Structure 1
């Protein structure tokens, strides 16, 4: 039983993602390294595209991690580092895009789609409520119905 538990635990721990930050990239100051890690988690790897640069092993991701650490070491604020990288690579480099006039549709599209779906459901439901279902009775069926109702 203990063996199985250890095996399951080992399998679960092996699924934990390994961070791609190499030991030679780590800053000596833990506070600056924490800032660098937080910023790296917000930036998209331009090669992998669904990973942050903190998780990616791509060379471009390594270059961006080093750039983030260099800018932090030079005294830039977090916003200044992000602005610098966005100015060089565009908004796509951010995993969570900023809310601006250019991204209003991106942020508002889910809400608009839900509202449009709700309105269309209401419209179609109201159109169907007053409509009879089925077809009209033929004269023979009408006569038979009248005969059955009179009994």
Structure 2
């Protein structure tokens, strides 16, 4: 009695293994480039969303290049100013308030925690400048992160 048989042969498996071994370097290079591009986007978004009074905080925002730490890539950034965290986290102060700067009083300068210069800044990706500027920049760019990571993987698989 004969049995119907089907046989599938994958020849060239060792060559495929060699290709995969060589891809690791390219993958890391492409991920580092993608993370670098994403880092610049986060910096742009954070600067666009931070409130503006004198502009010191906005100018201090800086993101570095990605660094490989173990099996991860890390991007570090933000501001080195002491009050940056306070400005990020502090709740809005409701109402209208005056501003005092260098001995000058600006009447009704602040409205519900935002000053006139902050109100004058344009929106970025549908977000208005103000508190939680870094957090909101990251949330607004989640799809961009996914896209640059997919692109890095595709470049690697295509041999670029």
Band of TM-score, shorter chain: under 0.3
Q: Which has the larger radius of gyration?
A: 1
TM-score by length of 1: 0.25
TM-score by length of 2: 0.24
Please identify which structure carries the higher helix content.
1
Please identify which structure carries the higher strand content.
2
